[in-house]
Amino acid sequence: MPRNPVKAKRPAASKPAAGSDGRPRARRRRPEMVLITGISGSGKGSALKAFEDLGFYCVDNLPVDLIPHFAELVLHSEIERAALVVDVREGQRLDKLPAILHSVKKLLPTTVVYLEATDESLLRRFSETRRPHPLGTSSPVKASLTAERRRLSTLRNLADVVIDTSKFNVHELRAHLTARFQRQSTDKNILVSCVSFGYKQGVPEEADLLFDVRFLPNPHFVPAFRPYTGRHPRVARYIRSFPQTREFISRISDLLIYLLPHYVNEGKSYLTIGFGCTGGQHRSVFIAEEVYKRLAKAGYRVKVIHRDSPR
C-alpha cells in the first residue's frame, strides 16, 4: 500500500451531453430488467408481447448462463428496459437461476414475474392449442404440470410479482401488465374483480374480501322476479328501493375507494371482492354491478364476474 495514498475525489457533476442540434440530451434513466417465468400455458408468451409493446427489449428462452452477460449488455448499452423469459425448458440448468438472479440484482433493478394458473385452466388451454407440454409426451399433461410446479417452486418463492392468469383472457393480462409496468405509475394500478356468487355453491376460493348481502330483502320470494337476475331493470329497481341497499352500496364503495390505494402501496396488483347471497342470482348480482360502476367511475380498472348467474 502506498505511504501517501491519493484520496479519490468525487467527479464534478457534468452537464448533459449536447445532441446534434446543440440541445442538451436527457439523462438516461437507470436501466431495469424483468424476468418472466412460470407454469407452461400460463401466458408467458402473451406477457412477453405486452412488455415488447411497452418498449422493453425482449428475449425468449435465454439460456440461464447468458443472463449475467445480458444484464451487463443492458447496463452498458442504450437499452433502458429489458424483459426475458426463462422457464422449465432450461432443464437442469434452471437450478443455477436463483444464484444468478442474486448476482444480477446487484447490477441493475430486476423484477421477477411468475405466472401461474389452475390445473383446470391449464388443461383446457393445452387441449385447445393441442401443443405438447415441454416436459414431454411420455406422461399425461396433468402429471407434467404437477412435476413442473414442483420444479419451479423455488422460483415462485423468489418472485416479486405472482399473477394467477386463470381468470384472465389475453387482453386482460395485457392490460394488467401494462398498468403495472408502464412508466406513468399511479396509485390506481390494480385490477379489481367484483364477483357475485351464491352461498349454496360455496365461497369463491380466490376472493380477497367477502361481503354477505343476504340481509337484503330477497327478490326470489316475488314470483314475477324468479326467472330473472339482478341485472334485470325490474329486479334492480326492487332491490334498490330499500334504503339499506342504497346505504350499503354507498358505504362499501367508499370503504373500497379508501382501501385500494393502500393495497397498491403494499404491492398488490389485483383484488377479488366477493358479494354473496343465497343462490347468486339476484342480490349479489345487483350489488356487484353497482359497486363495479362506482369503482370504475373512481378511475380503477374493474371487471365484474357473475359466477353462478344465470343458472
Report percent pLDDT > 90 for the chain. 65
pLDDT of residue 137 exceeding 80 = no
Query: What is the CATH number that goes with domain 32-181?
Result: 3.40.50.300
Q: What 8-state DSSP symbol labels residue 118?
A: -
- 55-66 in b/e form (b: 16+ CB < 10 A) is ebbbeeebebee
Q: 273 with 208: CB under 8 angstroms?
A: yes
Q: Tell me the one-letter amino acid at 53.
A: D
CA dihedral 198, 203, 206, 210 (to 10 degrees): 80
Query: What is d(CA 128, CA 170) in angstroms, rounded to the nearest whole number?
Result: 14
The lowest-confidence range among 7-16, 38-47, 151-160, 186-195 is 7-16
Mean pLDDT of 234-262: 96
Looking at the chain, which residues constitute the CATH 3.40.50.300 domain(s)? 32-181
User: pTM for the full model?
Assistant: 0.61
